[in-house]
Structure 1
Amino acid sequence: MSWPISHLLALLIGFCLDLLLGDPHWAPHPVRAIGALIAGLEKLLRNMLPKSPAGELTGGVALVLLTLAIPTGLTVLLLWGCYLVSPWLALAVESLLSYQLLATKSLAAESRKVYDALKTGDLDKARYAVSMIVGRDTASLDEAGVARAAVETVAENASDGVIAPLIFLAIGGAPLGMFYKAANTMDSMVGYKNDQYLYFGRAAAKFDDILNLIPARVAGVLMCLGGAAAGYDGKNAWRIFIRDRKNHKSPNSAHTEAACAGALQLRLAGPNYYFGKLVDKPYIGDDQRPIEPLDILRSGRILYATAFFALLVFCGVPLLILLFP
């Protein structure tokens, strides 16, 4: 079995495992290991380098290089060692890694907890559930605000939690998938424009922006198709995607959110509180109808449809071409 066929089969198996098992919190996970690595490297580099803008910029670049090299290199060595024992062992291990780098079911499941709490009328429980998956302040959100936050996080994380890693896995197998996940985890930990990370996290944030430049736009297009396939307004999804996909400070964050807002005929984003401070963000989508808890489940259906389209385009078609040239 050739390596391209093997890693595409591993992606297919990993995708199915993700749909079946999700992300068991008790199990070891490479992303948690990457997070621990980043925290350790940050502490080490800050102690080694001068506490000045130049020193922090240098430390941030070193953090990017080390965080990308270590998990990617270890993944290559692991798969190479498994392949020396048996190609089937390498396939099994790469399938497991591919599964752990995808987050389709866990994203839908975590948002489902918010819906379940709202359905029973427990607003405090819903606020707590949504606080686990969003960065904004949730203590004062009403039912509509909680539902909106859950829909937004499903839509936004569809790109860097599902579609982008799937694309990188399809192109370069688990090593490239791990490379992407290391960069994305690093951005989520240090890529902030606050006093602590303005200089130290700049390289990580810029690199993540570059890495997601194409995947985010591909994900937005696929979500327009996913919205239509799930039975929602695909034409409006495309209209809002084209109009509002740049309504965010990040060059990549609004693409899937715009497509989802259009498909569900909702208005998302807008001003929100973060760490007690009101942040004025532009709206995404049109306020065609009031948001409701069921929209959380609807966004999950769009997520699944989008993920299946991505699997078909980046895994299914290439695999068929390689197997039946």
Structure 2
Amino acid sequence: MDQYLYWQVIAAFLIDLWIGDPKQLTHPVVLIGKAIRNMETFLRRFTFHFSERLLGIILVIIIVGSSYGLVWLILFVMNQVHLWLSLLVGAWLISTTIATKGLADEGKKLFSLLKAKELEEAKKQVGYIVSRDTDHMDESEVIRATVETIAENIVDAVISPLFYAILGGPALAMVYRAANTLDSMCGYKNERYRDFGFASARFDDLLNYIPARITGVLIVLAAWLLQLDAKKSLSIWFRDAHLHPSPNSGIPEASVAGALHIRLGGVNIYFGQPKKRAYMGDDLKPLQVEHIQQTIQLLYGVSGIFIGLYTVIFWSLYFTN
């Protein structure tokens, strides 16, 4: 195993925990998002000649391929200057694909607002992290939306990018972030994106398949370490995760619901239209603001266990070679 890559991943994880996403720097995900929007506009000019599914496949190939190629080229140039410059830039690039701090900070903001009984401001704030309508929400719905989003993004914002960084360094981590951004922008099952966004959604599902199941195991372990209900976390995962429309998102949501003795899912409103999401977990406890705090603890616990296991495995293999 590559010792340089190990320290790069560790540095990236620590950079994210300490700094998060500096507002004064242009975030690579912002650039990827602009590229997706511009390329979508360009490709849709050819809908009279080609199917939308084919154009959606081309979009994925272009965005993912260019993300990989650009990161590889940047690091190649940096390496010609000095190895350490390449390593530092690579660590920063990996850190931009992770969002442990950003996810926790959003949860902490909502926790503070709800504790202060500022429901209207909390509804506005939760609207920044969910795609569902928030105007109608009461306190329990804001709590549910926050817990579901943090739980789901333990995969998308932490474990998946770290997983791909370990497998292939900064370039592969950016491939994952590009795929995830494609899904968040084009992976909708509405009239505009049902066909055009099909490849984006399926590619994201494929990349998240293994990390989501690793995350499920880690949530159970974190629940045990935090003296939550690890047994219930595991049983609800196996019982309810498949009810989620995503083949991956149901795993962290069901595991968290079991650990906290709460029920997630229910009616969500999108663009004024109610949609029923299957329930996950048992309604043993009413949703309370403290459940946001516990979900953040699980986020940190899963992140720490993953990095700890990576460290143990790396050094075990390093010293036996």
TM range (shorter): over 0.9
Aligned pairs for 1:163-174 (under 5 A) are 163-174=159-170
Render the CA deviation track for 1:68-94: whole Å, top value 9, x for unaligned: 111110111111121222211111111
Which residue does the alignment assign to 1:180? 176
Note the C-alpha offset of 1:27. Answer: 2.2
Identity of aligned residues (%): 40
Q: Aligned pair in 2 of structure 1 residues 80, 320: CA closer, same or farther (>3 Å)?
A: farther
CA distance in 2, matches of 1:235, 1:50: 51
Which residue does the alignment assign to 2:107? 111
Q: Aligned pair in 2 of structure 1 residues 279, 31: CA closer, same or farther (>3 Å)?
A: same
Unpaired stretches in structure 2, ≥5 consecutive residues: none
CA distance in 2, matches of 1:23, 1:125: 23
Aligned pairs for 1:305-316 (under 5 A) are 305-316=301-312
Which residue does the alignment assign to 1:55? 51
Q: What RMSD over aligned residues (CA atoms) do the two structures have, in Å?
A: 1.4
Which residue does the alignment assign to 2:211? 215
Aligned pairs for 1:1-325 (under 5 A) are 4-47=2-45, 49-51=46-48, 54-322=50-318, 325=321
TM-score with structure 1 setting the length = 0.95
CA distance in 2, matches of 1:91, 1:116: 38
2:44 counterpart letter in structure 1: R
TM-score with structure 2 setting the length = 0.96
Q: Aligned pair in 2 of structure 1 residues 224, 267: CA closer, same or farther (>3 Å)?
A: same
Note the C-alpha offset of 1:259. Answer: 0.8
CA distance in 1, matches of 2:149, 2:224: 20
1:171 counterpart letter in structure 2: L
Deviates more, 1:12-21 or 1:312-321: 312-321
Q: Aligned pair in 2 of structure 1 residues 244, 317: CA closer, same or farther (>3 Å)?
A: same
Deviates more, 1:204-213 or 1:172-181: 204-213
Note the C-alpha offset of 1:139. Answer: 0.7
Render the CA deviation track for 1:86-112: whole Å, top value 9, x for unaligned: 211111111111111111010010111
Render the CA deviation track for 1:22-56: whole Å, top value 9, x for unaligned: 22333211111110110111011112x1347x521
CA distance in 2, matches of 1:55, 1:11: 40
2:169 counterpart letter in structure 1: G
CA distance in 2, matches of 1:4, 1:18: 21
CA distance in 2, matches of 1:224, 1:188: 27
CA distance in 2, matches of 1:24, 1:232: 34
Q: Aligned pair in 2 of structure 1 residues 244, 93: CA closer, same or farther (>3 Å)?
A: same
CA distance in 2, matches of 1:170, 1:302: 22
Note the C-alpha offset of 1:230. Answer: 2.2
Render the CA deviation track for 1:128-149: whole Å, top value 9, x for unaligned: 1111111111111111111111
2:47 counterpart letter in structure 1: P
Note the C-alpha offset of 1:324. Answer: 6.2
Question: What secondary structure sits across from 2:269 in the alignment?
Answer: strand
Q: Residues 5 and 323 of structure 1 are in contact (CA less than 8 Å); yes or no, is this contact kept in structure 2?
A: no
CA distance in 2, matches of 1:246, 1:182: 26
Q: Aligned pair in 2 of structure 1 residues 254, 148: CA closer, same or farther (>3 Å)?
A: same
Note the C-alpha offset of 1:4. Answer: 1.7
Q: Residues 167 and 314 of structure 1 are in contact (CA less than 8 Å); yes or no, is this contact kept in structure 2?
A: no
Note the C-alpha offset of 1:316. Answer: 4.6
Deviates more, 1:313-322 or 1:286-295: 313-322
The list of structure 1 runs, each at least 4 consecutive aligned residues, that deviate by more than 4 angstroms after superposition, is none
CA distance in 2, matches of 1:231, 1:118: 25
Q: Residues 23 and 106 of structure 1 are in contact (CA less than 8 Å); yes or no, is this contact kept in structure 2?
A: yes
Note the C-alpha offset of 1:271. Answer: 1.8
Residues paired across the two proteins, number: 321
